[in-house]
Every structure is written in structure tokens, then in C-alpha cells.
A = this chain, B = another copy of it.
Amino acid sequence: MATATLEQPIVVSTGRCCPPVAASPDVSEAEAATYAEWFKALADPTRIRILNLLARSEEPICVCDIVDHFPLGQPAISHHLKILRDVRFVLAERRGTFMYYRVNANCLAAFPDTARRILNQ
């Protein structure tokens, strides 16, 4: 299909096998890369369960207690927490020698909107 691209708002007959794609604003390459980063942060069972653990707690949880919930070492858990921190799905706060983690409700609330954006709804 040579004539119609996502960037061209004009609907053009392709002369091929498919009808043309409607060409209103699409998910850009940069936008897709951002969403992919978010999903990548969630693409691990341990991180899903860490998020769930934090979400289920009224209070922030320190790393040592998170470690106790999983059959992984402290460095592995810290590694997963860093990935969740980098995309701002969790927030960290120091109290003495302890680091306390909690979910970032603001960031995760935007999640259904992301799905709607991708699905053009």
C-alpha cells in the first residue's frame, strides 16, 4: 500500500486488498515507545506482585519486608523496585536506614486512559 499512510488525513483507495485506514491522530512512534516502557515495567510476575503488595497495604512498606514475601534475594528485589521507580509506578521515601515504598496512585490511575488511547476509544 503506497498511497495512504497514518499521517495523511486524505482517504485514498489503495487498489490492493484492504480498505484504507482512517487517518486521524494516531499513536506516534514516541508515544508508543513510552507506553511500551510502562508495559515493560509490568511485564514481570514479581513486579506485578510487588505492586499488588504495596497497593494492599495502608502504609508504605520497607524493602526488608518486601523481600520476605518473595523467594528472591534483596538485590533482586531492589532491582525490581528500581524499575518500578523509574517509570514512577512506585514512590520511595527514606526513614532512617529504611526505605519505604508505596504505589504512585496518580501514575497508575492514567492506565485505563492509555488503553483507550491505544484502542482509539
Question: A residues touching B (Cβ–Cβ < 8 Å)?
Answer: 1-2, 5-6, 14, 16-19, 21-22, 24, 26-27, 29, 32-33, 35-36, 39-40, 42-49, 51-53, 55-62, 64-65, 68-69, 98, 100, 103, 105, 108, 111-112, 115, 118-121
A85 CB, min distance to chain B CBs, angstroms: 17
Contact B36 A53 (CB under 8 A): no
Bound together, the chains give a CA A58 to CA B24 distance in angstroms of 13
Q: How far is the CB of A11 from chain B (nearest CB, A)?
A: 11
A25 to chain B, nearest CB (A): 10
In contact, A21 and B57 (Cβ under 8 angstroms): yes
Residues of B within 8 A of A62 (CB): 17-18
Q: Is the CB of B29 within 8 A of A45?
A: yes
A36-B17 Cα distance, complex, nearest whole Å: 35
Give which listed residue, B16, B22, B27, B115, contacts A57 with CB less than 8 A: B22
Q: Do B120 and A21 have beta carbons less than 8 Å apart?
A: no
**Residue pair A26, B1 in contact (C-beta under 8 Å):** no
A52 x B65 contact (CB < 8 A) = no
